Amino acid sequence: MNFFEKLKKRHKPVSGALELLHYIGPGLLVTVGFIDPGNWATNLAAGSQFGYALLWVITLSTIMLIVMQHNVAHLGIATGLCLAEATTKYLPKKLSRAVLGSAMMASISTSLAEIIGGAVALQMLFDIPIKAGAIIVTVSCTGLLFTNTYIKIERWIIMFVSIIGLSFLYELFLVEVDWLQAAEGWVKPSFPEGSMLIIMSVLGAVVMPHNLFLHSEVIQSRKWNLEDDAVIHKQLKYEFFDTLISMIIGWAINSAMILLAAAVFFKEGNVVEELQDAQHLLTPLVGQSAGVIFAVALLFSGVASTVTSGIAGASIFAGIFGEAYQIKDVHSKLGMLLSYVPALLIVFVIENPFRGLILSQMFLSVQLPITVFTQVYLTSSKKVMGKFANRPSTTAILLFLAGLVTVLNVALLVSLF
């Protein structure tokens, strides 16, 4: 029995109320991507500088994420191709190389944030220098990818997400949150003076280009497109619930970061400029255990998200050659290394790791429209999707979201210059 047959057997539909549990997994891999150290940096900056005012960005970006992640998973289920493979197959060669080249740059930017986050956590816990910690994280995650299958990685990711979520739930019990202000912040858009860079960074940290490639890759590996239409429709339904549940979990954890920063740092007038500052400020205000739990959760976040960014980079690079991700294949190995090695080298030359985290997330938001417009074109094409192509209303919503991101990017550039 080969690898894909094992996956199909594992995900074969069964009867009963627990059927949905057989399809949980791909969405949680994506969830790790938007509760990564880059999110920690942007969310803590948002909460410490602007209190509860920017919670609405988490709500907006999560709604956008649900729509776009479900749509790209739709591509993988219906065609058996990941986003990178479909881009290579259906776009002109020069255009596809440009799109996937920029996506690889986004993958490097993502890996930079993940590796820095893991290294910072090791420094917090064991006083290991950032550069040495970055090497440890990179080597460890390379080993995890070389020795694990999707199934094993999914199980590890579920455990990591659980630990991160429980850590922030515990920390929220230790502080006094103004829930009325929080409720208003979740639904009422506001743009405090000087907040545009943070808004764009939060958006880039949640709606991430590499996650679109990652989700389509994990879904297509199930090879559900080889089944009949009834099975494909069933997979689409259960995939949506997987995506919805996973994204809501991510929304809650991202919100918890801003709530914690607003309740502790903004209230005291302390602006978080480095992740280490957050731990140092938490300890005297909330207690020693809060600082330790914060660092442990950051470490799990850094390792898990570095693994998923490596898979995404490998998938994008393999897709340039019309291949699916397979870690034993040379193109997948090269893609993973092309995502990790430049990011590791940047760690050795960057002066301010926290600022690097913020700027890396801003770059992701700038690249995002390229990926989203490519995705919309592919999923709306009957040549690509056949009878499963987007409805006109779905295409309109996706184009609106892509246009919104583009407008915000223009606003960011104006604010910078």
**Residue 200: left (phi > 0), alpha (psi -120 to 50), or beta?**
alpha
Asked if pLDDT for residue 42 goes beyond 90, the answer is no
Q: What pLDDT sits at residue 55?
A: 95
Residue 161 vs residues 7, 47, 170, 211, 304: alpha-carbon distances, Å? 22, 22, 14, 16, 9
Mean of pLDDT values over 257-264: 88
Q: Which of 281, 279, 254, 325 is nearest to 120 (CA)?
A: 279
Asked if pLDDT for residue 358 goes beyond 60, the answer is yes
Asked if pLDDT for residue 341 goes beyond 50, the answer is yes
Q: Each residue of 276-303: pLDDT tens digit?
A: 666 665 665 555 677 788 888 888 888 8
Distance from the Cα of residue 30 to its chain's centroid: 5
Q: What pLDDT sits at residue 272?
A: 73
Distance CA 382, CA 40 (A): 40
Mean of pLDDT values over 361-366: 70
Q: What pLDDT sits at residue 382?
A: 92
Q: What is the pTM of this model?
A: 0.80
Asked if pLDDT for residue 14 goes beyond 50, the answer is no
Mean of pLDDT values over 61-75: 87
Maximum average pLDDT range among 140-149, 241-250, 375-384: 375-384
Asked if pLDDT for residue 399 goes beyond 60, the answer is yes
Burial of 187 (0-12, 13-18, 19+ CB in 10 A): exposed
Q: What pLDDT sits at residue 56?
A: 94
In this prediction, residue 156 has a pLDDT band, given cuts at 50, 70 and 90, of confident
**What 8-state DSSP symbol labels residue 264?**
I
Over its C-alpha atoms, the chain yields an Rg (Å, rounded) of 20
Tell me the one-letter amino acid at 307.
Answer: V
> Do 253 and 168 touch, CB atoms closer than 8 A?
yes
Asked if pLDDT for residue 268 goes beyond 60, the answer is yes
102 vs 12, higher pLDDT: 102
Q: What pLDDT sits at residue 16?
A: 43
Tell me the one-letter amino acid at 213.
Answer: F
In this prediction, residue 58 has a pLDDT band, given cuts at 50, 70 and 90, of very high
Please report the domains of the chain, with CATH numbers, ordered by start residue: 31-388 (1.20.1740.10)
194 vs 227, higher pLDDT: 194
Mean of pLDDT values over 186-214: 82
Asked if pLDDT for residue 195 goes beyond 80, the answer is yes
In this prediction, residue 79 has a pLDDT band, given cuts at 50, 70 and 90, of confident
Asked if pLDDT for residue 377 goes beyond 60, the answer is yes
CA 343-345-347 angle, to 5 degrees, is 75
Q: Spell out the residues 6+ positions from residue 36 whose beta carbon is closer than 8 angstroms to its own.
A: 110, 113, 114, 117, 205, 301, 302, 304, 305, 309
Q: Which of 238, 160, 198 is nearest to 358 (CA)?
A: 198
Largest CA distance in the chain: 60
CA 118-313-98 angle, to 5 degrees, is 130
Distance CA 216, CA 412 (A): 29
Mean of pLDDT values over 210-225: 71
Asked if pLDDT for residue 150 goes beyond 60, the answer is no
Q: Each residue of 131-143: pLDDT tens digit?
A: 999 999 999 999 8
Distance CA 2, CA 19 (A): 24
Q: What pLDDT sits at residue 186?
A: 94
Q: Rounded to the nearest 10 degrees, how much is the dihedral formed by the CA atoms of 49, 53, 59, 61? A: -50
> Do 120 and 299 touch, CB atoms closer than 8 A?
no
> Do 81 and 75 touch, CB atoms closer than 8 A?
yes
Q: What pLDDT sits at residue 137?
A: 94
**Of the given ranges (183-197, 201-215, 271-285, 288-302), which has the lowest mean pLDDT?**
271-285
Average pLDDT, the chain: 80
Provide the percentage of residues in the chain whose pLDDT is more than 90. 25
Enter the tokens of residue 205. 């940290």
> Do 24 and 71 touch, CB atoms closer than 8 A?
no
Enter the tokens of residue 160. 């990591």
> Do 172 and 255 touch, CB atoms closer than 8 A?
no
Q: Each residue of 301-339: pLDDT tens digit?
A: 888 888 888 989 999 999 999 888 888 889 999 999 999
The dihedral sign for the CA sequence 152, 155, 157, 160: negative
